[in-house]
Every structure is written in C-alpha cells, then in structure tokens.
Structure 1
C-alpha cells in the first residue's frame, strides 16, 4: 500500500527539479534503470538466497531500502507551499485530482489511455503460462523462453528511447508503443511457433518503454507542479485498479473463450488506447510540441 505513494511523490520531485526540456530523456533513463533491475533483480536475489539463505537475503533487501531512504536526504528541501490547495482528507485530495484531470482535455484522454492499457495488460498477465503449454505445446518450465526476450527487449528499448527522446514527441512515442504492443499481443495469442513468439515478446518489451515514457512525459507537461502528485496518484490508482480487476476476470474468461480470443481482446484495448491518442496530435499541432 505504501509503495503506491512513491510514484506520485517521485514525479512531483521530478517536475520540480528537472527542466522541462530534459524531462523526456530523464523519464527514459528512469524507465531503463527500472527495467534493468526488474530483470536482473530476481536473478541476483535467487543467487543470494541460494548462497546465504533467506535471513541474509531479507537483511540485504532491508539495507537497500535504508540506502534508498538515505539518498533522498540529498534532494533539496521543498520550499514552495500551496496552502490554498490543502485538503482535510485523502478523499478530497483524490476528488480534486479527478476534477483537475477532467478540466484538461489531454489529461482526460491520457486517463482513458491508461485505463485501456491497464485492462489490456491485466487481462493477459496471468495467462503467459497457457501460451507456453497450450499454444506452443511446451512444458510449464519453459516459461522463461517468453520472459527472457521480453526483459531483454525492455532494457534495450529503454536505452533506444533515451537516444530518441530528444527527436520524437511524447505523443508519437506513445502511439508507436501502443501500436506495436497491440499487434505483438495479438500475434502472441495466435502464434504456435516458439521463435515467432519469442520475437513478438522481444518487440513488445522493446516498445513498452515508449508507452510509459510517453504517458509520463505528457502528464508532466500538462500538469502544474502543485497538482502533479494528485494527478499521478489518480493515474497510478487507475492503472493498478484496472489491472487487478481484469486479472480477476481473466481466469473466469479463460474457461469460457479461447486463449487467442482473450489476447485479441487485449490487443483491441491497446488499439482503443491508440485511438484516444489521436486528438493529442491535433492539440500538439495547434499549440506546439508541448501540447499543454
């Protein structure tokens, strides 16, 4: 529960201390680091656990969190206060954030995009094992043949996006990520060839940073510093909530429709998210590259 507080708070600090012209490159670097440690972390953790045992593993994890907290002490103190925005309850904060989102067309479109992506990801997240066993006809232990290409693609994609961040607008990055992920997910749900499925998983991972970076950069561009925490909090809740709901439905749907159909529905949700980004291009063309 407490982890849900970190992203809104982190993005507020990011908005405050990172110049707007460097925001997209910075978000790309952040996503790359996250991808690296998400892929390498389990491998390192398994090695530490097998070598030193569970207690030493947990102690090292505790020390890492302590060092992370210690690093935050070097962030300059927040000198700006906004007493006029103070709310007496978390619920009023959330409602104020929601009202602010609906007052901005780009933030409203991005929220719909986040909801569609959350539903699409949540729908297929529990079903990777069935792709291995049903579509590819392999043992469940071969799941790594899907996760390794995806992880490698996500790391490489993050660094490619860092290089391209200054050349491509965030809305274009977002559109590319949604388009490739949509077709990739559809292909994974229909492929019966291991090599093709691995290639599609790699492409999905390669372009998934574009989605995160595009949405985050646009949100930061369209939100004032005083509102960034609330807007990001609502966005995080929206993404997490839609994913959890669809993950709960995925198992039930799996018994009623084919795996290929579920993956097709997920791909369609990514296409819906892509359609929602089209008006952002029009707004950007009218108001400049920063479309807010």
Structure 2
C-alpha cells in the first residue's frame, strides 16, 4: 500500500478520479431534478435522460477504446476534462437562455467524452505500476467507487436543493478544470507515443484486431462468458429490488435506500479488505467466493421475511462482490497487453450493459408469468453458474500475447 501512495502518477490519477466522480454525481442529480421540474415529472423525459447516458456505451465505447489505444493517454484524459468543462459551460448557457430541452443534447456530448477518458486511465495505471501492485490499485479504485455510491447522491442532492442548478453547474466547472490541471502534472513517462515504426491503419482494422485478440485468448473468452452470465442475472433482479422490500418484507418503498446503503457500505469495506490482502490470496478463489455467495444470497433474500436477515445478506454480498470486482479488474489490467486495454474495455462494457438491459426488459414479463421467487431463483442459478465458469480462468503472470498468425495487424496505430 505504501508503494502505491508513493507513486506520483497513481496519486495524481486518484485525485483526478475523485474530482471527476464528485462532478459526475453532481451533474447526474442536478440534471435529474432539473428535468423533473421542467417537464412536470414527465416519465418520458426522465427515461430519455437515462437512455442518453447508455447510448454512448453501445455506439461509442468500442470506437473510444480503439482511439484510446492509439492516442497518448495523458493528453486524452486532459482533453476529456476540457471537453467536459465546455459541455457544462454549454449547458449553463442554454439553461440561462431558457432552452432547457437542449440539455439532452449537451448531456449526450458529456457522456460520449467519458468513453474516451476511462480506457486511458486504465492504460496509465498499467504503465505506472508493476503488475504485483495492480490488484491493490484496483481495490482502492473500487473502494472510491463504493464511497461515491453511498455519498454521491447525497452530495449532489444537497448542493442542488440548497444552492440550485446554477451553483451545481458552476461547481462542475471548477471540478473539471481542477481535474485537468491535476492531470497536467502526470509524468511524461505515462504519455509515451506509439512506436513510430507502427503504421497507421483504419479504425475498422483496429477493431477487428481487438476481436481477434480476444478470440485468440482462452482467458479472455472465459472472462467474457462470466460477464455475460453475471450481467443477465443482474438484469433480472435489479428492477425487482423494490418488490422484495414491499412484498416480501412488508416495508414502505422508501426503505429501499437503507438496504442500498448497507450494500454500499459492504462494498466499501470489501474494497479496503481487497486492498490489504491483494496478492496474498489467489484471485480465482476470491472471484468464486464472491459470485457463489451472490447466488446463495439471492435465494435467501427472496425467501426472507426478516429485514435483519435481508440487510445482513446485502452487507455481506457487498463485501464479497467488491472483492470479486477487484479480481475482475485486476485480471484485465494484468493479463491484457497494454495496446489492447482500450479495445477490451470497448467490448466488455457494451456486452455487460447490453445483457443487463436484456435481463431487465425480460424480467417484468417473467415475473408476471411466474412469481418473484422464480425470477430470483433463476438469477441466483445464473450467479452460481458464473462462479463455476470463473474457476476456468487460466490466470498467469504474463499478459496475453497476440498470436503471430493473426490475420489482422495489431500494430496499426497512430499518435495524436
């Protein structure tokens, strides 16, 4: 742990991520409340805001991953913050001008920009840290994300309700500007340009090279299957969470926030534990434990009629899932060749999101045709299946290398 905080690049990256996460939650909550007020609580307007946040994951994620593999990561992240700053400035102008509907278009721009910044952040971590420190780094990142799951909505809501939309947008401008300034202090060693001997190929060729890289690796194919099964199960239960609270526990629907907070607290503690034991426990064991316990806790939650039992399961699930997510991220960071980090994220994220949406779209009909118990047991079975599949991950100490006979050149990169 001491080595991580002694690494200048990692500390600066964490500070930047901290400010960006605060900014994202302030933006999300401010725009949600603003759209609710302006549209008179129109559910179509609110759902459109959610769709706008998801669309770039499907349309831009792979392209963003390819370009992140081509471009200098430090410069890409700085430009990401600059463009986020400009998009918030544009939102401020259209709101002051009275054209509140334009907020949807500007929010789309902001969501697109993030698809370029995220893979660049992973590349910097890959470059600035030795492989043995990557699990602890991903654990700390997971802890930070868990902290914002708990505090983010509270901070965003408090700023909006206390000071209003204008103050929320101005605070965003300050945060994104400060993040860009912090990133300028990253050492030049993390921003090396691609090898000048590499030729400039088309985006399509680079995308094909990314798929060929995944297809040539047993580890990445198994990891992709784990993502698919896990996302499908998550999609089945995610929309029905409130029904467990109201129908099984006979509590008011407002009580859902406390169970969500318990899970977030568990993830926070799990992330800290993962940071301490990183490298001391075999990753496949942690992943299996987290996913299998998620399956068993899903069975218990839907059968439980005792709030204390359900809350305990939520907390323990949060602890073990934080460890499992840390392992998944560490595997991607350690086992993937640096020049494919962006493209792998560009495949994994749309697949995970897409399967979650398929599960969420199917679960309403499935519950109507059967019962909430059947739906939860199906999801639990999927989680258990993913845990057994995860044991097939052939994790090694060396990154997955491209096959020499791959039909598509993977060296087609250009510098920006």
The two structures have a TM-score, normalised by structure 1, of: 0.91
Moved more, 149-158 or 3-12: 3-12
RMSD over aligned Cα atoms: 2.0
Relative contact order: is structure 1 or structure 2 higher (C-alpha 8 Å, sep ≥ 6)? 1
**3-state SS of 2:194 partner:** coil
**3-state SS of 2:369 partner:** coil
- Between the two proteins, the alignment pairs up a number of residues equal to 286
d(CA) in 1 for partners of 2:200 and 2:375? Answer: 44
Superposed, which structure 2 residues align to 1:37-76 within 5 Å?
37-76=148-187
d(CA) in 1 for partners of 2:306 and 2:371? Answer: 18
Moved more, 2-11 or 142-151: 2-11
Superposition deviation, residue 291 in structure 1: 8.3
Gaps of 5+ in 2: 1-55, 57-111, 401-416
Moved more, 79-88 or 175-184: 79-88
Does the 8 Å contact 1:11/1:232 carry over to 2? Answer: no
Superposition deviation, residue 278 in structure 1: 1.8
Superposition deviation, residue 131 in structure 1: 0.8
Superposition deviation, residue 27 in structure 1: 0.5
Q: 1:144 to 1:224 in 2, by over 3 A?
A: same
Does the 8 Å contact 1:7/1:233 carry over to 2? Answer: no
2:384 corresponds to: 271
Does the 8 Å contact 2:123/2:338 carry over to 1? Answer: yes
Q: Deviations over 1:115-136 (max 9, x none)?
A: 1111111221111111111111
Does the 8 Å contact 2:293/2:320 carry over to 1? Answer: yes
Q: 1:62 to 1:124 in 2, by over 3 A?
A: farther
Superposed, which structure 2 residues align to 1:174-253 within 5 Å?
174-253=287-366
Q: 1:181 to 1:4 in 2, by over 3 A?
A: farther
Does the 8 Å contact 2:367/2:374 carry over to 1? Answer: no
Moved more, 16-25 or 239-248: 239-248
Superposed, which structure 2 residues align to 1:1-292 within 5 Å?
1=56, 2=112, 3-77=114-188, 78-82=191-195, 84=198, 86-89=200-203, 91-280=204-393, 283-284=394-395
**3-state SS of 2:281 partner:** coil
d(CA) in 2 for partners of 1:85 and 1:104? Answer: 24
Q: Deviations over 1:196-225 (max 9, x none)?
A: 110111111111112211111112222111
Gaps of 5+ in 1: none
The two structures have a TM-score, normalised by structure 2, of: 0.65
Superposition deviation, residue 5 in structure 1: 3.2
Superposition deviation, residue 39 in structure 1: 1.1
Superposition deviation, residue 86 in structure 1: 4.6
Larger Rg: 2
Does the 8 Å contact 1:94/1:234 carry over to 2? Answer: no
Does the 8 Å contact 1:4/1:236 carry over to 2? Answer: no
